[in-house]
Structure 1
Amino acid sequence: MQRELHDDHLLLYCTAGQGRLDYEGRRVPVSAGDVVVLPAGQAHSYASDHQRPWTVYWVHYAGLLSDTMTDWLAAKGGPVHRLGLNARLLALFDAQFGLRDQGSNWDAALHACHQLQFLLSHIAQMLGQAADSAGRLDIARIKGLMMAHIHDHIDLAALAEDAALSKYHFAKLFKAQTGQSPIHYFIELKMQQACYLLDTSRQPIKQVALNLGYEDAYYFSRLFKKVMGVSPARYRTGLHNI
């Protein structure tokens, strides 16, 4: 989608996959949990990623009261806000769109306006809470991103980019909050998933390794033993409990 000039505001919430937003000569990645607020008149274009297409909620709106709120939201660090997947926010979007089933009568339209006002104010509240926790990483969000890549790979650069930080600053904050480096934390998540697969399936160890993005089963076994203290084969037999 590309718009040089539009006369209403746009609110977009990405709930899965990823894409990108272009505005004012800048390209910003958009991924699951991101809220995009574009004021009226802001030239922009956006697109879904071909490899991991996004799922998005969006709503166009206008009105005198909405102008001030939208300008305030857009001024909070640009149009893309990394608020994460939030159950309350998802419920508010669902409730907003559920009003379509009531038809195009005046009562439904009035209800939709108030519902939208509540939705925007909730986003403003979330941004305020995020500002209060500035200087701290959202570990739950980072873990969610890691789990999304549990079957393949993700590097430090991608994790730092998602947090809008340099690799050095991201790694330093992450270790300060968790006591581990980001990559070691990711490897431990992978080994936890490996334990689950070894416990609940009859897959060969080579297949378990492939399921977790390791083409070299011997390397996977060495890594598993380093983290768990026993080899995958010994873990599966239960000898690790002796």
Structure 2
Amino acid sequence: MQLTSNWPLPTEGIRFLTPQSLCDQLAANPLAANLYPVAMGYYPKASQHQMVRNQHQNYLLIYCTDGRGTLTIDGKHQRIRAGDLILLPKGQAHSYASHSRYPWSIYWLHFDGLAADVFCEHLDFNGPIQSVGLQPRLVAGFEALFSLRNSGYNLASFIHGSLEMQQGISYIALQVRQQRSKSGKQIDLDAARSFMNQHLHGQLNLETLAAHSKLSKYHFSKRFKALTGHSPIQYFINLKMQHACYLLDVSTQSVKQVAAALGYDDAYYFSRLFKKVIGLSPDQYRKSKHR
């Protein structure tokens, strides 16, 4: 099966395949086995670029940074525009093509690994195409991975590249969630977090938080937990305890004073909350800095 297209590569284009022997070494290495690059590239203004795969033996991530294209899966055609990410899992038959009048520019990465499917699930795309906008950090991540072309197929360099890939996919997962939170289908997490930070010195209840996001308490709580993994009130408490750590680190304030600065009149109650979240009492945390 043909791994990459035979699109004529221009001088500024990139197409780089990891040798099979090196893929085997990465698959056997505990640091890289979960996720490693199989092939990667950059096709600028890729006029007449197209690809058809009836069998796909690894995972493919494409990032369109300019122009347009189409993706076809199960006979359904979907448009691709600048700022779109395309994720195609192993085994998914597909075809895609650059627009004839507005050819796309794309970064692409074939990858595999024991945890590749888990990383794909973590991305949490709504279908094969997810819009994240033009992200310089994503481009920088691809460009950094391209440095493997000059490594002489050094195993240590590819292990490092594999770990960078994990970080890059984790970053994409964050961007997907942030974009979704601003789409109108979810809450604006940045705004909710900012509102909480403005009230670290006091108390907030679920009704106030939901009203700030213009949602019912039920929908706000449900959507907030889906985005963060925590209930809104627990998230607010976590922010308070993080700020408490900062105050314990940078000041000589007593535990009672720190508690009061965060809106807790009862220092004992504050200490119990702190230990529940941080795992140490405030006094233990302060002493642990000097170990």
TM-score range, shorter chain: 0.5 to 0.7
Aligned-residue identity in percent: 41
- Distance in 2, matches of 1:103 and 1:33, equals 32
Q: Kindly indicate whether structure 1 or structure 2 has the higher relative contact order, using CA contacts under 8 Å at least 6 residues apart.
A: 2
Higher helix share: 1
Amino acid of the structure 1 residue aligned with 2:171: H
CA–CA distance in 2 between the matches of 1:105 and 1:61?
18
Q: Report whether the alignment pairs 1:47 with 2:66.
A: no
Q: In the comparison of the two structures, how many residue pairs are matched?
A: 135
1:120 and 2:164 aligned: no
Instruction: Please tell me the residue identity of whatever aligns with 1:104.
Output: Y
Deviations 1:159-195 (A, max 9, x none): xxxxxxxxxxxxxxxxxxxxxxxxxxxxxxxxxxxxx
Q: Tell me, in whole angstroms, the C-alpha distance in 1 between the residues paired with 2:150 and 2:184.
A: 43
- Of 1, 8, 14, which residue of structure 1 is paired with 2:64? 14
Q: Distance in 2 between matches of 1:76 and 1:112?
A: 23
**C-alpha displacement at 1:26, in angstroms?**
1.3
Give the superposition deviation at 1:134.
2.6
Please report how far the alpha carbon of residue 71 of structure 1 lies from its aligned counterpart in structure 2 after TM superposition: 3.3
Separation of aligned partners in 2, 1:68 and 1:24: 23
CA RMSD of aligned residues (A): 1.3
- Structure 1: 5+ residue stretches without partners: 137-242
Q: CA–CA distance in 2 between the matches of 1:120 and 1:22?
A: 24
Distance 1:92 1:26 in 2: 31
Confirm whether residue 57 of structure 1 aligns to residue 111 of structure 2. Answer: no
* Distance in 2, Cα, partners of 1:69 & 1:24: 24
Contact in 2 for aligned 1:39/1:71 (Cα 8 Å) = no
| Alignment match, 2:142 | 93
Give, in whole Å, the separation in 2 of the partners of 1:57 and 1:125: 19
Amino acid at match of 1:70: C
Aligned ranges 1:1-242 → 2 under 5 Å: 1-73=51-123, 75-135=124-184
What SS does the corresponding residue of 1:64 show, helix, strand or coil? coil
Letter in 2 for 1:60: H
Q: Secondary structure at the match of 2:71?
A: strand
CA shift for structure 1 position 61: 0.5
Q: Distance in 2 between matches of 1:56 and 1:18?
A: 10
TM-score by length of 2: 0.45
Higher gyration radius (CA): 2
- 1:99 CA drift (Å): 2.3
Separation in structure 1 between the aligned mates of residue 125 and residue 87 of structure 2, nearest angstrom: 10
- Counterpart of 1:109, as a letter, is F
Letter in 1 for 2:149: R
User: 1:149 matched to which residue of 2?
Assistant: none
SS at match of 1:30: strand
TM-score by length of 1: 0.54
SS in 1 for 2:161: helix
AA partner of residue 40 (structure 1): K
SS in 2 for 1:85: coil
